[in-house]
Amino acid sequence: MSKTWFITGTSSGFGRRMTEKLLARGDTVVATLRRTGALDDLRTQYAGRLDVVELDVTDSTAVRRTVDAAFAAHERIDVVVSNAGYGLFGAAEELTDEQIRLQIDTNLIGSMQLIRAALPHLRAQGGGRIVQVASEGGQYAYPGFGAYHATKWGIEGFVEAVAQEVAGFGITLTLAEPGPAATDFGAALAVATPLDAYATTPVAQVRQGMTDGTFELRGDPDKFTQSMIDAADQTPAPRRITLGSDAYHHIHAALQSRLDDLENQKDLAYAGDLAN
């Protein structure tokens, strides 16, 4: 049975690939993006099954209006995919206030507001699925991506809480955690002006790796997006899907390190309880 999807950030990258795959298999897609012309080829090919809507997810009023209109136009929207976002690179003190605000407004607040806008409609129709495109960067951190990681760690916590709040309504949420992939993420990356003080730090090493090609991109975006679609079709819904060997190894190492630290502090933790 065909499904109807609502997807943000569809002009390129994961959002574009997911839209292409879903239309090819016979589904209907409400595709939002900031540059509507980016999907003209698909709109011509799939007239009647593709709604293209201009949306800047940093505009919370527009997010609510667009979601409301999409649910009003379609008998049911089965899956909402929160995909819009971008990366920001720079050491914490290299970033400007404006860069930090835009990163948070887009990746974190924009995602939160999309989910909040969708929930009443999903409740009213008796359930549905939300897929939040997070990142391995929601569990693991690279130097120079602190603001980006703050948004991805933040949205993971938000989704964990919301999933518990709405489970009784038949609404399920999945976090997709892709590792580095051969998309245009790097081309869209916002980069802060470097400070000389960081020229010999890990920030500079990561910066160099991104410019000289030594930062290897093993992930296949076509396989990643197919895994996201498969996860949205799966029952019961997985809470997380880890995409790519880099993501697996990085997340595994980060979780193991945190677990080891926790175990080493067990006595300290228990010592903080009120005495019986």
Give the active site residues: 148
Torsion of CA 133, 136, 138, 139, to 10 degrees: 150
Question: Cα(167)–Cα(128) distance, rounded to whole angstroms?
Answer: 10
Question: Cα(138)–Cα(141) distance, rounded to whole angstroms?
Answer: 8
Torsion of CA 123, 128, 133, 137, to 10 degrees: 70
213: left (phi over 0), alpha (psi -120 to 50) or beta: left
| Contact between residue 240 and residue 177 where contact means Cβ atoms under 8 Å apart | yes
